[in-house]
Structure 1
Amino acid sequence: MTLLPDSPPADDRYHVRLPDFFGPMDLLLALIEQEELEITAISLAQITDQYLAYLNTLQHLTPDTLTDFLVVAARLLLLKSQVLLPKPPPSILAEEEESETDDLVQQLKDYKRFKELAAELNRLQNEGGRSFVRLAPPPKIEPRLELGDVTLDDLLDATRRALAVKPEPPGVDTVVARETVTIGQQIDRIRRHLQSGQRTTFFRLLHNARSRVEVIVTLLAVLELVKRQVIEVEQSEDFGDIQLIRREDVSLSEDDWAALTQMEEVS
């Protein structure tokens, strides 16, 4: 059976050209999993060579372009290896099938969770697009003042008298200093929390936070430590508290910690 389109594809996705198939990679995988194409008739080497040639034609290579191919290619390789390699004994096969079933269930749960989170983020974005930050308090509307028999000359005289007795503005006695919080300070604070125990929580770090700036800087400090693989984070439920866990296999020198605690300030 040869599966070829009547006309060129309408989308700009990468397409595979084989003797029995022409189309996108995900369609090829779907047809094989539905047993409409024989996996043994598909040359994975030919698919790989075509994709490498396709990459050479791209001016800008994005991670999505590469990861989409790797996911489908890995699935094709698994299917072909299952067909070509000897079958294991029934007892081992049953354990592998059970393991694959558990993996599939977990993947479906993860997919459902990410889909719900994506919908929630989309909802928040849409609501934010209809909101505007108030930069000034609402205007105070004064009640209408009935002037009665007051003339323009009367108003001018009243204005002159008011300006003549206008007091001098009071001097400034107190200067409020700008509150400054640095990422380095929060990294040092997280380090002290983790020195007294193996883990702490994000909410515990925010217990005495005095401003939104401090909350934001604390989050940036956590992300910086995760990026440098100093800590790991876990979250048991959506929008719940975040566990910060010190990694046993990573040890920073005092110079490294000193460099982290000197990171720029955020106001």
Structure 2
Amino acid sequence: MDIKFKDFEGPLDLLLHLVSKYEVDIYDVPLVEVIEQYLAYIATLQAMKLEIAGEYMVMASQLMLIKSRKLLPKMVEEISYEDDLEADLLSQIEEYKRFKALGQELAAQHDQRAKFYSKPKTELISDEMELKYDKTVVDLFLAFSKVMADKQDSFNDSHTTVAADQYRIEDMMAYVEERFSQKKRLTLSELFEASQNTAEMLTIFLASLELIKRQYLTVHQEENFGEITLMKEVA
């Protein structure tokens, strides 16, 4: 099974996506929370052995530096190096937002103008799976990244579990279906609460995506960054 996630145009595009979820001015967002979500996203991609462009890793190292400096106690009351880094990052995101909006406006004008000219027939192919309730795979993936990051400490503390060499998506689809035969609604946290290692979580996640694609499950989220709830589709 080949499941593709939405590709961001770069690390600033991913950061802008995370920042925009707060629906406040860029300079008012809780930067540490945004950084943690970015790092969790990258860590999950790595765990899934998906290819990550080098620019994402460079940004990750910069964000880790900003986060570490922001968490240190203030020793002097003056503009520090960390403030310069933070201000520069927010400025980059704001500038990227302006250029992206301009690009979208130009693209809209191009589409409008194209209506007046004939052009060869093109095949429309979309790799992005749209979920119900105006949610996308990205929203589900970000929520999963948070759940996996929260469980990582418990995995590290466990020394008794031996991970299986391989988990099959087909087997995990049957497992998820069994869970929903007992209960019609489950949050992501509940779905993964019995998972013993990262590999098992990843396979259950991919199995859940396939069941969503087949419309066996639907997805609901009350608010941005809120808990994701999976529900069995009523026949």
Larger Rg: 1
- TM-score w.r.t. the length of structure 2 is 0.34
Higher-helix-fraction structure: 2
- TM-score w.r.t. the length of structure 1 is 0.31
